[in-house]
């Protein structure tokens, strides 16, 4: 094929629309294909005609659209270059789209590249399945496909969900006090406090006797002292006791 120079103002939208033009296409049919209003579609098709990519023949009731010979060569050239392996520029464009440059103008501004070169490379990554597009109101938006994301190694950030930290459960402190052996209450035996580290704190017979003796001595010691003093005074008064 004869190498023909691309129009310097060629855009990716031009190539996408040019590919949709078939022999004797009706102008009215492009509104549904391009998801655009009649006026937006007419303006877009008029731009392609100014660039000599298509020819519009109007007649009563309808307008017929065909690709020009120049348009055929431009589309064929873009399709052939779309089969070539990806290069550094293609990878740079994929990363630009992944970073948020979704329009043709945004990618061009970020990479600072000519419009016609950018259009051919975008056409390539679309044809090879690394990017996709959507047209609304005669505007083309770019998106990466799953393969495009994998190729760039880009992982979209997911919104983080705020997590409420779990409150640590504090153990309930159980006082390590002395425990009473309540079994002796029902058995008639002495209920004596149990000491820590002494699992069997029941008193033996001797211990019981000593405990009772100490109890009574402590209880009646003061009365015995008072009684002795009174007796001593009485004996001293009666003369039966002298110092």
Q: What is the DSSP string of 97-115?
A: HHTT--BHHHHHHHHT--H
Residue 240: predicted pLDDT: 65
DSSP state of 57: E
Q: Which residues contact 225 (CB under 8 A, 6 or more apart)?
A: none
- Residue ranges of the chain with pLDDT lower than 70? 1-4, 154-224, 226, 231, 234-237, 239-243
Q: Which H/E stretch holds residue 68?
A: none
Hey, which CATH number is domain 12-72, 1.10.8.350, 3.40.50.2300, 1.10.10.10, 1.20.140.10? 1.10.10.10
Q: Is the overall model pTM greater than 0.85, yes or no?
A: no
Mention every residue, 6+ apart, whose C-beta is less than 8 A from residue 46. 56
Cα 161 → chain centroid: 6
pLDDT confidence of residue 191: 44
Which pLDDT belongs to residue 200?
Answer: 47
Which whole-number Å values give the CA distances from 23 to 14, 32, 49, 66, 109, in the listed order? 17, 18, 15, 6, 35
Instruction: State the first-to-last Cα distance of the chain, in angstroms, to the nearest integer.
Output: 153
Predicted local confidence at residue 195, as pLDDT: 47
CATH of domain 88-152: 1.10.10.10
SS3 232: helix
CA-CA-CA-CA torsion for 112, 115, 117, 119, nearest 10 degrees?
Answer: 120
Q: What is the pLDDT of residues 48-95, one digit of tens each?
A: 999 999 999 988 778 999 999 999 999 999 999 999 999 999 999 999
Q: How far apart are CA 45 and CA 30, in angstroms?
A: 9
How far is the C-alpha of 21 from the C-alpha of 52, rounded, in Å? 14
Q: What is the pLDDT of residue 156?
A: 55
Residue 1: its pLDDT value, please? 46
pLDDT for 170: 64
Query: In the chain, which ranges are continuous DSSP H helix?
Result: 12-20, 30-34, 38-50, 69-82, 88-98, 104-111, 115-127, 146-152, 183-187, 205-237
Amino acid 165: pLDDT: 62
Nearest 5 degrees, angle CA 91-CA 51-CA 134? 45
Instruction: List the one residue out of 65, 63, 67, 64 whose CA is nearest residue 78.
Output: 67
Q: Return d(Cα 177, Cα 114) in angstroms, integer.
A: 88
Please, are residues 35 and 133 in contact by the beta-carbon 8 Å criterion?
A: no
Task: Output the pLDDT for position 197.
Answer: 46
Taking Cα atoms as reference points, which of 200, 210, 206, 204 lies closest to residue 189?
Answer: 204
């Amino acid at each position: 094929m004869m190498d023909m120079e691309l129009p310097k103002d060629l855009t990716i939208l031009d190539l996408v629309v040019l590919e949709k033009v078939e022999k004797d296409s009706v102008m009215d049919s492009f509104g549904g294909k391009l998801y655009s209003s009649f006026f937006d579609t007419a303006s877009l098709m008029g731009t392609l005609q100014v660039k000599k990519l298509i020819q519009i023949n109007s007649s009563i009731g309808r307008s017929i659209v065909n690709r020009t010979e120049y348009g055929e060569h431009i589309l064929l050239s873009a399709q052939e270059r779309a089969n070539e392996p990806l290069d550094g520029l293609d990878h740079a464009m994929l990363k630009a789209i992944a970073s948020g440059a979704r329009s043709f103008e945004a990618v061009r501004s970020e990479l600072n590249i000519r419009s016609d070169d950018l259009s051919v490379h975008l056409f390539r990554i679309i044809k090879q399945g690394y990017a996709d597009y959507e047209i609304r109101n005669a505007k083309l938006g770019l998106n990466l496909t799953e393969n495009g994301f994998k190729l760039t190694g880009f992982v979209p950030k997911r919104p983080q969900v705020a997590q409420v930290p779990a409150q640590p459960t504090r153990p309930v402190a159980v006082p390590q006090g002395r425990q009473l052996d309540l079994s002796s209450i029902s058995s008639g035996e002495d209920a004596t406090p149990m000491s820590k580290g002494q699992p069997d704190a029941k008193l033996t017979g001797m211990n019981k006797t000593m405990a009772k003796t100490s109890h009574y001595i402590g209880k009646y010691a003061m009365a015995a002292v008072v009684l002795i003093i009174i007796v001593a005074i009485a004996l001293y008064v009666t003369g039966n006791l002298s110092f």
